[in-house]
Amino acid sequence: MHRGKELLKKCTDELSKELPVLRKINNLTQKDLGDVIGVSRQTITNIESGKSEMKWTTFLALMFIFSLDHHSAEYLRRLDIPYTEMREWLAEKRGAK
Residues spanned by the domain of 10:
2-91
**pTM score:** 0.83
Residue 19 belongs to domain with CATH number: 1.10.260.40
Q: Where are the alpha helices (DSSP H) in the chain?
A: 2-25, 30-37, 41-49, 56-67, 70-78, 83-96
- CA dist 46 and 44 (Å) reads 5
DSSP character at residue 29: -
Q: Determine how many CB atoms are found less than 10 A away from the CB of residue 18.
A: 21
- What are φ and ψ of residue 81, in 5° steps? -100, 125
Instruction: Report the number of distinct structural domains present in the chain.
Output: 1
- Could you tell me if residue 97 is inside a domain? no
- Could you tell me if residue 96 is inside a domain? no
- CA dist 85 and 59 (Å) reads 16
- Could you tell me if residue 31 is inside a domain? yes
pLDDT of residue 97: 54
Tens of pLDDT, residue by residue, the chain (97 residues): 477 889 889 999 999 999 999 999 999 999 999 999 999 999 999 999 999 999 999 999 999 999 988 899 898 888 888 888 888 888 888 886 5
pLDDT of residue 34: 97
pLDDT of residue 86: 85
Helices 2-25 & 83-96, crossing angle to 10 degrees?
A: 130
pLDDT of residue 64: 93
